[in-house]
Structure 1
Amino acid sequence: MKDNVLTVSSDVIAVLEAPDRLAALDAAMPVFLGPDPDFDDIAGLAAGVFSTPISLVTILGRTDQWFLAREGTPDIRAPSDASFCARMIAESADEPLIVADAREDERFACLPSVTGAPYLRFYAGAPIILEGQPIGTVCVFDVEPHARVALDLLPRLRQLASLAASLIKLKDEARRRLLAAEALSRDEKRHALALDAANVASWLWDLSTGMVSGNETFYRMLGVKPARPMRARRFFAAVHPADRKATIGRLRDALASGKEYDGLFRAAKSGRWLLGRGRVHEWDADGRPTIFLGINVDVTDGQLASERTRLLLRELNHRVKNTLAMLQSLARQTLRQTSDPVEFMDAFAGRLQSLSEAHGLLSDHEWGVIHLKMLLQKQIMPYAIDFDSQIEIHKDEVELGPDQAVGLGLVLHELATNARKYGALSVRSGKVVIAARVVKEDEQRVLNMTWHEVGGPPVRQDGRRGFGSVLIERSLDKVLGSNVHVEYLPKGVTAVIRMPL
């Protein structure tokens, strides 16, 4: 019998390659992971029922028959096309089959397991049916033929096959639920990570219990510790008192209308600005809201930027009004000093440029404070032949506010213009020495600054005070307590400036 040639009928091939059968098998068990102890009892019962030494619970693949459970053999697989089970399914479809003596049955006599070890003689098998397709078997074998088999044994074998099918289905459903749970867990983790990365707080208000819970960012934003579910009252207490009433009102409106809640409030502990969004997610049978979902986003930076913009606009409006008034005064005073349009434009344009330079510096620093060194460079550099060699500065670190910068800028412009036309900056040998020191007078910081010209042409004072002199002395009128004193000494102009900071 060993030399017999195994022939595989077209019916067997058709069964093994049937698309619907393989699809049902793949859906129920995409991957065979080896014998499963959950099926051992089924194999044991089958062997006991038929009093056989070998029993199997199998999955019949296209090329391999895998053993979910086995008794009496160490193997876990066998070729599908050489199996009893493939022929049983090809012949009887969903009906059990008994082969009393395989050596005497031409359908099985040439199988390698019959002609060779383990020299099987008896076989009984029932198909495992899922989705109407035979995907495997519960079967028993013996190396001795069974001449007589009780008629009630086949229904029992069918029941065991049905039990195996139910177990495969239950395990498949459990596998699918596990995969779904893992996918949901991954989605939840990804969602939580995304919210955390974006600094977005998410929270849920269970109105039936009155409890509010959220992610870690939610508790961190509100400054609530420990980070665990809390009563709604505690949640509202975490809102800044100034914003609490409006926030509760908006939430009540959203609960009553079912529309979206949209509010801006500060956290009571940190003072951070939080933008809140949310809406009712579930209602009970009577239409009452039961679950409210919401998010909070920290918008403190944007809120502060908006407030800073409003302050800057107010400051700019104030500065524009002051500047216009100053320009009108400069224009009138300049016109009084000259009737020549060209001379007027030259004098007025310079003073206008001085204002522009001071405003430009303040604008660059958002109308806060600017350093004295920057103002000195801006106002004097255009009038020096060689700034580095002609201007000597000794100063403390001094910060100037808007009124101080604009007023002192005009003073420096007039001094530098006069020095360029008539004084130390009109010749390369001339020099301007500037000393700026901050002293305390009655707990008030005061800037004492001197402007002293040396090396220039001799100064001739004719006794008349021009508009430049008047402007120098009055440019700091808006800075209370300040004054400027100018002396036209023969060796050079000296100006002494006193200005509270």
Structure 2
Amino acid sequence: MTVQAVPASVAAALASSERLEALDAARPAYVGPDADFTGIADLAAGLMSAPIAIVSLIGDRTQWYLARRGTAEVSASTDNCFCAHLLTGTGGPIVVGDALHDKRFCRLPDVTGKPHLRFYAGAPITHVGQVIGSVCVFDTAPRATLPDDASLLHLQQLAKLAGALLLAKEESRRRAIANAAITREEQRQASALDAANVGSWLWNIRTGAVVANAPLVRMLDLKPGAPLKARRIFSAIHLSDRRATVAKLRQALESGGEYDGMFRAAATGRWLLGRGRVHEWDSDGRPLMFLGITLDVTEGQIASERMRLLLRELNHRVKNTLAMLQSLARQTLRQTSDPAAFMEAFAGRLHSLSEAHALLSDHEWGSIRLMAMIQAQVRPYADDFDGQVEIHKDEVQLGPDQAIGLGLVLHELATNAHKYGALSVPEGRLVITARVVEEAGHKVLNMTWHETGGPPVTPPKRRGFGIVLIERSLDKVLGSSVHLEFLPSGLTALVRVPL
């Protein structure tokens, strides 16, 4: 027998984009037998005294069975589907007493062949006004007496129940997916905060309970896993900072503005920066939840304090240097009335101070190595530094006053050697010896500057500014001294600097 073709109106309804969109919105991820719908199929079968009952969803080509009774099938083609005709109806049920004598169904395979269906009653499952499925019953025996209106109404109610259950399950599934995504995001954020050592906390103002992550617990040296109250958090703040921190929190609560405060942890003394604001209010506008983060800013505070100390030291040094420059300028000017000679002498001394300042600045005004100072002050005045200058030394760290004073001494000695002494001729040699000795329990640097191979030396008839500068450049270093010996073979300077 020829298979009955699906009417054009039914085919159009099956393929309707609006209907398929409604179906997709309600269809579960897995479309197949679901125990939650079995009770509806059983009720439908009992209501109509029918051996076969099905709860289904209707796609464009397939009818999927969510629950069935009296058949082992889990799906059917819409070409062999009674329920497809519900799509073109008025939204009410369809009842067929004998499908063999109904032109809509008489040539369907399930009618002409096994299981030889005859009786059918089906009610549509709808969503947003579109038929997406059905609750239906079958019998292999025809029925002359059709179900009454009350029975059909109950069948419709079962279809509505199936639709509501379908939507509830789908909503629950989507909610579970969303919650899982939120949970993953929360875990990701928590891991990021933990990795970045950012403390986070949520304060229930009404109960006083605080939920805190692991970094905050570590920062405040609290017991891991123990229930936290606001009082316990406040007591973990350093006593000197506690009152100000609580006052800032109270102000943020009253104003609804941001809390931003710096404080120290009582147990460790580390500096922490807290920020937060009211996250939730009750119906009367009173704050309920306060959300915040806490950062360990100890390293930044140390760096900031170090910078302040450095600036104070720099300010002090600049004042001293300006005073020294004024004195150098006056003394240099007294020694010569020639502007060119003045500029040459003064510029050299200014460059010496600049070199010492640069070295100290590179070391944040802490200390610099003696070798670095010697090279910076002597190398510019030696045509062959490696060949003419011999250095024997103990490695010494010089403080700011020692470095600036000794730098001027070395500069004056080097310029004098370049103009008149051992560094003025290729065969001249300079030997610098610097040794650290213990004197009365204190370390002292004894440095000898000895020139040989240069022009013969005669003692000066008067003490010029250069000599005075050499002898007095270390005046700020208590216990220091510079002694010059004008030996015929070359100038010798004996420098003593307490360390």
Return the TM-score normalized by structure 2: 0.93
Q: Is 1:349 matched with 2:327?
A: no
Name the amino acid aligned to 2:121.
Answer: A
Q: Which residue of 2 aligns with 1:189?
A: 187
Q: Which residue of 2 aligns with 1:419?
A: 417
The farther-off stretch of 111-120 and 57-66 is: 111-120
Q: Which one of the candidate residues 120, 140, 143 is aligned to 1:143?
A: 140
| 1:138-188 per-position Cα deviation (integer Å, ceiling 9, x unaligned) | 122233333434535433433322221221122122123213322322332
In 2, Cα distance between the equivalents of 1:288 and 1:126?
A: 53
Name the amino acid aligned to 1:476.
Answer: L
**Residues 331-342 of structure 1 correspond to what in structure 2 (within 5 A)?**
331-342=329-340
The answer to whether the 8 Å contact 1:93/1:134 transfers is no
SS at match of 2:405: helix
In 2, Cα distance between the equivalents of 1:443 and 1:99?
A: 119
SS at match of 2:218: helix
Q: Is 1:270 matched with 2:268?
A: yes
- Alpha-carbon distance, 1:414 to partner: 0.9
The answer to whether the 8 Å contact 1:439/1:445 transfers is yes
SS at match of 1:339: coil
Q: Which residue of 1 aligns with 2:94?
A: 97
The answer to whether the 8 Å contact 2:99/2:105 transfers is yes
In 1, Cα distance between the equivalents of 2:165 and 2:243?
A: 59
The farther-off stretch of 431-440 and 48-57 is: 48-57
Name the amino acid aligned to 1:218.
Answer: L
Q: Which one of the candidate residues 466, 469, 478 is aligned to 1:468?
A: 466
In 2, Cα distance between the equivalents of 1:15 and 1:262?
A: 63
- Alpha-carbon distance, 1:343 to partner: 1.8
In 1, Cα distance between the equivalents of 2:282 and 2:393?
A: 76
Seen in structure 2, the aligned counterparts of structure 1 residues 12 and 126 have a Cα distance that, compared at 3 Å, is same
Q: Which one of the candidate residues 211, 214, 226 is aligned to 1:213?
A: 211
Q: Which one of the candidate residues 296, 299, 302 is aligned to 1:298?
A: 296
Seen in structure 2, the aligned counterparts of structure 1 residues 493 and 227 have a Cα distance that, compared at 3 Å, is farther
SS at match of 2:417: helix
Seen in structure 2, the aligned counterparts of structure 1 residues 411 and 243 have a Cα distance that, compared at 3 Å, is same
In 2, Cα distance between the equivalents of 1:247 and 1:324?
A: 44
- Alpha-carbon distance, 1:367 to partner: 1.3
The farther-off stretch of 9-18 and 420-429 is: 9-18
Q: Which residue of 2 aligns with 1:495?
A: 493
Give the share of equivalent positions with the same residue, in percent: 64
SS at match of 1:69: strand
Name the amino acid aligned to 1:146.
Answer: R
Name the amino acid aligned to 2:237.
Answer: V
Question: Is there any run of 5+ residues in structure 2 with no aligned partner, and where?
Answer: none
In 1, Cα distance between the equivalents of 2:99 and 2:283?
A: 67
| 1:120-154 per-position Cα deviation (integer Å, ceiling 9, x unaligned) | 22322121233333211112223333343453543
Q: Which residue of 2 aligns with 1:428?
A: 426
In 2, Cα distance between the equivalents of 1:156 and 1:289?
A: 51
In 2, Cα distance between the equivalents of 1:467 and 1:33?
A: 104
SS at match of 2:344: helix
The answer to whether the 8 Å contact 1:362/1:368 transfers is yes
Q: Which residue of 1 aligns with 2:38?
A: 40
Q: Which one of the candidate residues 95, 98, 123 is aligned to 1:126?
A: 123
The answer to whether the 8 Å contact 1:46/1:160 transfers is yes
Seen in structure 2, the aligned counterparts of structure 1 residues 484 and 240 have a Cα distance that, compared at 3 Å, is same
- Alpha-carbon distance, 1:65 to partner: 0.8
Q: Is 1:440 matched with 2:438?
A: yes
The answer to whether the 8 Å contact 2:135/2:159 transfers is yes
Seen in structure 2, the aligned counterparts of structure 1 residues 389 and 269 have a Cα distance that, compared at 3 Å, is farther
- Alpha-carbon distance, 1:317 to partner: 1.3
- Alpha-carbon distance, 1:197 to partner: 4.9
- Alpha-carbon distance, 1:67 to partner: 0.8
SS at match of 1:242: helix
Q: Is 1:26 matched with 2:49?
A: no
Q: Which one of the candidate residues 227, 235, 238 is aligned to 1:237?
A: 235
The answer to whether the 8 Å contact 2:14/2:87 transfers is no
The answer to whether the 8 Å contact 1:13/1:81 transfers is no
Q: Which residue of 2 aligns with 1:13?
A: 11
Q: Which residue of 1 aligns with 2:363?
A: 365
Seen in structure 2, the aligned counterparts of structure 1 residues 258 and 49 have a Cα distance that, compared at 3 Å, is closer
Q: Which one of the candidate residues 192, 197, 200 is aligned to 2:198?
A: 200
In 2, Cα distance between the equivalents of 1:100 and 1:89?
A: 20
SS at match of 1:177: helix
- Alpha-carbon distance, 1:372 to partner: 1.1
SS at match of 1:476: coil
SS at match of 1:45: helix
- Alpha-carbon distance, 1:51 to partner: 4.1
The answer to whether the 8 Å contact 1:430/1:454 transfers is yes
The answer to whether the 8 Å contact 2:14/2:60 transfers is yes
SS at match of 1:294: strand
In 2, Cα distance between the equivalents of 1:431 and 1:223?
A: 65
Seen in structure 2, the aligned counterparts of structure 1 residues 40 and 284 have a Cα distance that, compared at 3 Å, is closer
In 2, Cα distance between the equivalents of 1:257 and 1:106?
A: 77
In 2, Cα distance between the equivalents of 1:227 and 1:429?
A: 80
SS at match of 1:33: coil
Name the amino acid aligned to 1:484.
Answer: V
In 1, Cα distance between the equivalents of 2:225 and 2:479?
A: 56
SS at match of 2:242: helix
The farther-off stretch of 189-198 and 309-318 is: 189-198
The answer to whether the 8 Å contact 1:213/1:228 transfers is no
Q: Which residue of 2 aligns with 1:258?
A: 256
SS at match of 1:148: coil
In 1, Cα distance between the equivalents of 2:207 and 2:440?
A: 64
SS at match of 2:272: strand
Q: Which residue of 1 aligns with 2:56?
A: 58
In 2, Cα distance between the equivalents of 1:150 and 1:254?
A: 71
**Residues 378-393 of structure 1 correspond to what in structure 2 (within 5 A)?**
378-393=376-391
In 2, Cα distance between the equivalents of 1:323 and 1:118?
A: 111
In 1, Cα distance between the equivalents of 2:244 and 2:159?
A: 68
In 1, Cα distance between the equivalents of 2:145 and 2:156?
A: 19
- Alpha-carbon distance, 1:34 to partner: 2.3
The farther-off stretch of 178-187 and 418-427 is: 178-187
**Residues 103-118 of structure 1 correspond to what in structure 2 (within 5 A)?**
103-118=100-115
Seen in structure 2, the aligned counterparts of structure 1 residues 432 and 244 have a Cα distance that, compared at 3 Å, is same
In 1, Cα distance between the equivalents of 2:415 and 2:466?
A: 9
In 1, Cα distance between the equivalents of 2:479 and 2:223?
A: 53
In 2, Cα distance between the equivalents of 1:172 and 1:387?
A: 87
The answer to whether the 8 Å contact 2:86/2:131 transfers is no
Name the amino acid aligned to 1:438.
Answer: V
Return the TM-score normalized by structure 1: 0.93
CA RMSD of superposed structures (Å): 2.2
In 1, Cα distance between the equivalents of 2:223 and 2:489?
A: 74
The answer to whether the 8 Å contact 2:356/2:373 transfers is yes
